[in-house]
Amino acid sequence: MADTKYGHLVKKLKYEASNGEYMTMPVGADLEGLNVSFAWGYRRQLGAWGGDGGVCHAHPYGECLVFTGLDYDHWNTLEAEIEIAMGEEREIHVFDTPTVVVAPKGLVHCPLITRRVDKPYSFSAISLNTEHATTWLGGDK
C-alpha cells in the first residue's frame, strides 16, 4: 500500500514469540514518529511474566496496561485472574475482569502474575514515548 498517498499509514503488525506467548511492539519510528509505542499480544500461561519472578520496573513516561478477554459473546469477562504490584511498597492488586492499569511516569510496577487462565486473553501496554525505556529494579534486567 505504500505506493498510494496514505498507504504508508496502514501498518502490518509483526508478531514475535516471547516466553511462549505472541506479542508485537511497534515504537514511534514504526508509527510515523508519533509520540507513542505499544505492545499487544495474546496471553495464556500461568505464572510471572517473563519468568523473572519478583522483578519490578518503572518508565520515564506514562503507561497504560490493558487487559481484555477475547470472547466476543462474553465481552465483559477476562477469563483470567491477574496480579500486579504497584509502588515501591509493592501494593498487590488482583483483578479478573477487563481492566486498565495506569502507571504514571516513574511509578514502580510489576511483577505481573497470571494466577488463573480459563481462556486466552489480550494484553496491551500503551506508552507515551517513541521508544520503550525501562529501569529494572530487583533483578538483573
State the residue for C-alpha cell 520515564.
60
Of 79, 62, 57, nearest in space to 70 by CA:
79
Residue 88's Cβ-count burial label (10 Å; 0-12, 13-18, 19+) is exposed
Q: What pLDDT is recorded for position 141? A: 38
Task: Check residues 128 and 23 and name the one with the higher pLDDT.
Answer: 128
Q: What pLDDT is recorded for position 103? A: 93
Q: What pLDDT is recorded for position 2? A: 59
Band the pLDDT of 60: cuts 50, 70, 90: very high
Q: What pLDDT is recorded for position 136? A: 83
Q: What pLDDT is recorded for position 140? A: 40
pTM, to two decimals: 0.85
Task: Check residues 3 and 113 and name the one with the higher pLDDT.
Answer: 113
Question: What gap in Å lies between CA 13 and CA 37, rounded to an integer?
Answer: 13
The CATH-assigned architecture of domain 7-137 is Sandwich (2.60)
Q: What is the mean pLDDT of residues 50-73?
A: 85
